Structures are given as structure tokens and as C-alpha cells.
Amino acid sequence: MSGFFKSSIGRKVAMALSAFFLMFFLLQHLAINFLSVFSADLFNEVSHFMGTNPLVQFALQPVLIFGVVFHFIMGFVLEIKNKKAQGIAYAKNNGAANSTWMSRNMIWSGIAILAFIVLHFIDFWFPEINTKFIQGDWSGTMQGVEGFRYHEELTHKFHNPIRTLAYVIAFIFLILHLWHGFTSAFQSMGASTIRKKRLQTIGKVYSIAIPLGFIFIALYHHLKYLLS
């Protein structure tokens, strides 16, 4: 198994598999968050189920965290390996001529997204862990708030214009990251040239639609607060 990760193909396949997993999570996460726009009660019910379900909390959540960490570590490893390879064959290969700007700057968009994940953890995940595992409160309620607390916590974060702007900028970087990463992941798994062209089209739609969905949610709640 260690030999698999030492090979260039093995690292790329591992990177692709982690990317597939995270892209599926983004789709699921967006679907749940979109409920906050249409129905606070439904968003609260689904969030409470996800936040208290043992399978989600003790099996899927650790897998998700591992997937995020693994994806970023593998991304840095591949970047270092690629830089070394370019240094050796620089005279024979002009990277700027043979690749897109996004493919050459995946590491920077990845770093920006990593910074956003840290902010997102500070905003939501760390307080949730504190409430449930340290304080031992699994009720999903909050003093002064009728019903479950999740919708109130979500919308409150977008009252701050600076935080809202940070989220918007982060999702723009996510568009850039996904634009190249979607097709690259399938290519690493052996997609044919014909399929690659189709996947590029699907990837463009996905890489724009998913982040724009999150941007819409952030701006919707921020504008709703300003107009209230």
C-alpha cells in the first residue's frame, strides 16, 4: 500500500478519490443549507437530525474530516513533486504554454479554501463540538430562540458584512479550484478524450453552480438582515 502512494499515478488516484468524496459532500451541504432560504423549520429539523444522528456524528463526520485533511496534504505533496519535476525538465517543457492558469495555481486557490475552512470551523464546527461534546447539550435548542437553534446561528453569522464578504471571496476561489479539479479528477481515473470533453462541460456547470449557490445563501441572509 505504501508503494501505491509513492507512485505518481497512485498519488493522483488518491487525490481524485478524495476530490470525488468532497464534491459529493459539497452538493449535499448545499442542498441542506438551501433549506434555510425557503423554510427555517425544515432547515432546523434536517440540521438537528444530521447533528444528532450517531451514524453521521461518529462515522461520517470523522471520515469527512479525514477526507479534507488528506485532500489538502496530498495536494501539497503533488505540488512539491510537480515543482521538482519541472525544475528537472524546465528546458523541455514550458508549463505556462501547456496548461491553464487555474491548473498552475491550484495550490493558491487551495490555500485560500483552506483558510476559509478554518473560518468555517471557527464559525460553526468548533461551537457545535463545544455544545454537544463538552457541555453535553444535544437538545439543539438555545435560550431565547423558539424551536431549534440552527437557523438562528446560520443567519446570525451573515449579519456581519466583513464575514459575508469573506465567504463570497472564498467561494469565488472555490469556483477556480473546481474548474480545473473536476476534470482533473476524472482524468486521473482514466477518462477517455471524448469523455473528458463531456466532463469538462459538466465540470464547468458544477464548479460555477455549487459555489454560486453558497454565495446566494450568504448574500440572501445578509440582505434580509439589512432590510429587516
pLDDT of residue 77: 83
Nearest to 154 by CA among 224, 211, 210: 224
| Residues paired with residue 145 on neighbouring β-strands, in sequence order | 142
Cell reading at 79: 505540488
Give dist(CA 183, CA 16) in Å, integer. Answer: 10
pLDDT of residue 64: 93
Nearest to 36 by CA among 170, 214, 169, 203: 214
* Tens digits of residue pLDDT in 181-220: 777 777 777 665 556 677 778 888 999 999 999 999 999 9
With a cut of 80, say whether residue 31 has pLDDT above it.
yes
pTM: 0.86
With a cut of 60, say whether residue 4 has pLDDT above it.
no
In the numeric block, the cell 478524450 is attached to: 193
- Report which DSSP code applies to 39: -
What residue ranges define each of the domains in the chain, with the CATH number in brackets? 2-227 (1.20.1300)
Cβ proximity of 36 and 136 under 8 Å: no
pLDDT band at 36 (very low <50, low <70, confident <90, very high): very high
pLDDT band at 93 (very low <50, low <70, confident <90, very high): very low
pLDDT, the chain, mean: 86
How much of the chain exceeds pLDDT 70, in percent? 84
pLDDT band at 90 (very low <50, low <70, confident <90, very high): very low
| Residues paired with residue 141 on neighbouring β-strands, in sequence order | 148
pLDDT band at 91 (very low <50, low <70, confident <90, very high): very low
In the numeric block, the cell 488528506 is attached to: 70
Give dist(CA 28, CA 206) in Å, integer. Answer: 13
Amino acid at position 19, single letter = A
Cβ proximity of 123 and 153 under 8 Å: no
pLDDT of residue 88: 53
